[in-house]
Amino acid sequence: MAVDVGSIAPDFTLRDQNNEEVTLSEFRGRRNVVLLFYPLTFTGICQGELCAVRDELSSFQNDNVQVLAVSVDSPYAHKVWAEREGYDFPLLADFWPHGEVARSYGVFEESKGFALRATFIINKEGVVHWKIVNSPGEARDHAEYLKALAAL
């Protein structure tokens, strides 16, 4: 079932590239969250999108906003990729149960075994304020979710 704008964002706890647990609800009352689902680590469009976030990180991660990127890859693959690309934001492993968090947001591509390219902006109250879902081969326009963040 897809998560729509105005819905409470499903809570989750996943491990990041440092094998540390990150829980979505820990940001409630403190920060808005940009939740980015991407298909696979070490792939072209995914790398381009995350490098764009890295290059504009102060817009996506600051005292008011936290970026969380999620794929089905393991924390170990995320660690290598984060070090290689200089990603200083959490890359979360929706590894096991495989794709469970992507499924809870309605963005898991069952036939392929990975998440669609989806972004959810979650406000400090834990409510989905904005979302976009693209196919795996269709890059997102970061300017659109910067506009959505500015509207919070």
Domains and CATH numbers, the chain: 13-150 (3.40.30.10)
State how far the alpha carbon of 90 is from the alpha carbons of 81, 83, 136, in Å. Answer: 12, 12, 21
Which pLDDT band, with edges at 50, 70 and 90, does 113 fall under? Answer: very high
Amino acid in the structure at residue 55: D
In this prediction, residues 2-20 reach a mean pLDDT of 96
Annotated catalytic residue 46: yes
Q: Is the pLDDT of residue 48 over 90?
A: no
Catalytic residue among 3, 9, 46, 68: 46
Average pLDDT, the chain: 93
- How far apart CA 76 and CA 127 sit, in angstroms, is 31
Determine what percent of the chain is predicted with pLDDT higher than 70: 100
Burial class for 42, CB neighbours closer than 10 Å (0-12, 13-18, 19+): middle
50-54, 135-139, 144-148, range with greatest mean pLDDT:
50-54
Q: Is the pLDDT of residue 66 over 80?
A: yes
8-17, 50-59, 131-140, range with greatest mean pLDDT:
8-17
- How far apart CA 75 and CA 105 sit, in angstroms, is 20
Dihedral sign, Cα of residue 112, residue 118, residue 124, residue 127: negative
pLDDT greater at residue 14 or residue 42: 14
